[in-house]
Amino acid sequence: MSEHVLPQPADHPLRPSIGRVLRDQRKIELVALGLMIFSLWFYQLGSWVLPGCLAAGILLGLLNHLATEYWLLKVISGGHAPTRGQITRATIIRLCILAVIAIAIAVVFWPDGIGVLLGLAIFRLIALVMTTLPLLKELKNQ
């Protein structure tokens, strides 16, 4: 197997850090925090389970997003292009862990526990839109 070497961008640090990922993803973190606070507002309906599960799903989605960004930063900073197998393995492992945790919470708090999956879906949709719009604007400007 041959490894491809990526050009090293001048503005990236030699070592990736969690702090850098947290700083770079500030917007999505604030959106996730807002969504969690909004979901906890539903506590007024009398039960904490559904709002707590929604917030947990959003938090799991955020953690998955940050883990993905950290992995990508490590790959870019390392200068080596990952193989398809490496990308596939990293993605499957991360998503399996996420799915096991989310399904376990949903089963324990059934039927309101399904809010975990709803929170994950809502966060994923918003994160997708937030990452796609800048890319589309950049493509339009080219």
pLDDT tens, the chain, 142 aa long: 445 444 445 554 457 788 888 888 888 889 899 888 888 887 766 778 888 888 899 999 999 989 888 888 888 787 777 788 888 888 899 999 999 999 999 999 888 888 899 889 988 899 888 888 888 888 888 8
**8 belongs to a structural domain:** no
**43 belongs to a structural domain:** yes
**5 belongs to a structural domain:** no
CA distance 5 to 78: 9
DSSP 6: P
Domain count, the chain: 1
Question: pTM to 2 decimals?
Answer: 0.76
Q: What are the phi and psi torsion angles at 46 (to 5°)?
A: 115, -20
* Cα separation values, 47 from 15, 35, 40, 56, Å: 45, 18, 10, 15
Reading the block at residue 70, the tokens are 């950290």
**4 belongs to a structural domain:** no
**70 belongs to a structural domain:** yes
Q: Is 97 exposed, middle or buried (0-12, 13-18, 19+ CB in 10 A)?
A: middle
**9 belongs to a structural domain:** no
CA distance 47 to 59: 19
Three-state secondary-structure class, residue 5: strand
Residue-range definition of the domain harbouring residue 24: 16-141
Beta-bridge partner residues of 62: none
